[in-house]
Amino acid sequence: MKRPISYLAVIFFVFAAASRAQSVGRIDCPRSDGVVYLYNSMTTLEISTTLQCGEQVQITGRYDHYFGVRTAKGQVGYVPVGAVLLFKNTEGGPTVPQPIAPPNRERVVYDPPAPAPAAPAVQASASDFTMRSNTVIHLKLAKPLSSAGAKLGDHVDLEVAEDLVVDGIVVVAKGAAAVGTVTDVETKKHLGHGGKLGVSLNSVRLASNDSAPIRGYQEAQGASSTAGAVLPMVSGKDVAFAAGTAFTAWVDGDVHLKKEAFAASKQDAAASSAPPGHN
């Protein structure tokens, strides 16, 4: 009986030492200007915030394809195993996550709100008005989109679901075009892994025929097989967004507008819709 007990003691010691030696990791992104999502739950994949490339995190556990982590700000959650580079602590080395300066990249919807810059002391014209940052715009998908056929970088056509009115002026009209990009896509795989599809929102057409920057992200994952032992040749399910799927966008930064531009656009639209010969 002594020999099996000694083996168990050695195995326990090795795993305990490995877990202590690899208690700190670094967020590893495919690109230096990318981000990694911190999920509140491995089941619902609800996104809590974004983690910056190179940011150090405390590893709190390993759960199949995810690491449990704690950030330097005390936030806890889960990230994919492939997004964390583990390294061993040295004697006297840091054992807590170290924050880093944020990279120079575009903000996404899950980033903490950026501090508003001080407004310049400029006398505004009576004809000027502003569409404020974080104003919500409701969109819908113009045509279906599937993880089986989508590719990274593909343009996604959307349209505005309802008018957006600012200071009594229809700034974004119902039916106006909006543009997104496929930023995450995975087709279904063997071993029961389902597909994945993520769309980031980029811009929307204003009633003045100008465009305004928007931000937002929507993701869907296909069903994965979890019943019993998964056979190697069993595939998961591809995921798709149907035409008309609702998307929510936020105006990305204050957009300064002029009332004359919207009045001229309204007159042009009325003239183009008038019957021939009408004066």
pLDDT digits (tens, 9 = 90+) for 112-164: 566 666 656 555 566 789 999 999 999 999 999 998 889 999 999 999 999 99
Polymer length of the chain: 279
pLDDT digits (tens, 9 = 90+) for 152-197: 999 999 999 999 999 899 999 999 999 999 999 988 766 556 788 9
Domain ranges of the chain: 2-87, 128-273
pLDDT digits (tens, 9 = 90+) for 25-44: 888 876 555 678 888 887 77
Residue 42's Cβ-count burial label (10 Å; 0-12, 13-18, 19+) is: middle
- Tokens describing residue 152: 């990274």
CATH of 128-273, one of 2.60.40, 1.10.3470, 2.40.128, 3.30.70: 2.40.128
Compute the radius of gyration of the chain from its Cα atoms.
25
Beta-carbon-side half-sphere exposure of residue 242 (alpha carbons within 13 Å): 1
Please, which pLDDT band fits residue 50 given cuts at 50, 70 and 90? confident
Domain boundaries 2-87, CATH class: mainly beta
Beta-carbon-side half-sphere exposure of residue 57 (alpha carbons within 13 Å): 30
Distance linking the first and last C-alpha atoms of the chain: 105
Q: Are 188 and 175 in contact (CB under 8 A)?
A: no
For residues 223 and 59, what is the distance between their CA atoms, to the nearest angstrom?
A: 28
pLDDT digits (tens, 9 = 90+) for 186-238: 887 665 567 889 999 999 999 999 999 999 999 888 665 444 344 444 556 88
